[in-house]
């Protein structure tokens, strides 16, 4: 029987996805201490025409005080939700200055309340706006 080398297979990355009202700092800390999680995303931070002060971001993502990582060293990316591309960019820049390795943009939330305010998956119906946001 001939021996064939298999192509290099990498382990999949496991992301701990956000869930409003459930996956907060405490649960991220517990689950990343258990292990197996490669990256976390915070609950969404709704951006509506305001450049938030750092204290607002620290309320959602206190891991920013620890280099953007949980106590066990797992990176946490803040998630922004909104439709004002300039305001989203300003808030993303502030988060980057605070040490966030990356920013997650919410384009998938199906909640009618979120969609009614042009956020989440409602943006998928406005590809030009979605492009400008990114």
3-state SS string for 67-134:
CCECCCCCEEEEEEECCCHHHHHHHHHHHHHCCCCCCEECCCCCCHHHHHCCCHHHHHHCHHHHHHHC
Give dist(CA 51, CA 88) in Å, integer. Answer: 8
For the stretch 33-82, pLDDT in tens is: 999 999 999 999 999 999 999 999 999 999 999 999 999 999 999 999 99
d(C-alpha 20, C-alpha 96), whole Å: 22
Q: Give the model's pLDDT for residue 72.
A: 96
Percent of the chain with pLDDT over 90: 70
In whole angstroms, what is the distance from residue 105 CA to residue 121 CA? 11
Active site residues: 109
pLDDT at 11 over 80: no
pLDDT band per the 50, 70, 90 thresholds, residue 116 = confident
Domains of the chain: 16-133 (3.20.20.70)
Interior CA angle at 120 toward 31 and 42, to 5°? 25
Give the per-residue pLDDT at 61: 97
Torsions phi, psi of 43, nearest 5?
A: -60, 155
């Amino acid at each position: 029987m001939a021996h064939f080398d298999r192509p290099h297979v990498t382990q999949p990355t496991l992301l701990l996805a956000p869930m409003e009202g459930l996956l907060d700092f405490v649960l991220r800390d517990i689950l990343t201490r258990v292990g197996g999680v490669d990256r976390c995303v915070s609950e969404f931070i709704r951006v509506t025409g305001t450049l938030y002060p750092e204290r607002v971001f620290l309320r959602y993502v206190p891991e920013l005080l620890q280099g953007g990582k949980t106590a066990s060293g797992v990176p946490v990316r803040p998630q922004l939700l909104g439709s004002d591309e300039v305001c989203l960019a300003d808030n993303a820049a502030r988060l980057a200055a605070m040490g966030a390795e990356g920013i997650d943009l919410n384009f998938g939330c199906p909640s009618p309340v979120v969609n009614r305010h042009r956020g989440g998956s409602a943006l998928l119906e406005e590809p030009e706006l979605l492009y400008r946001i990114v």
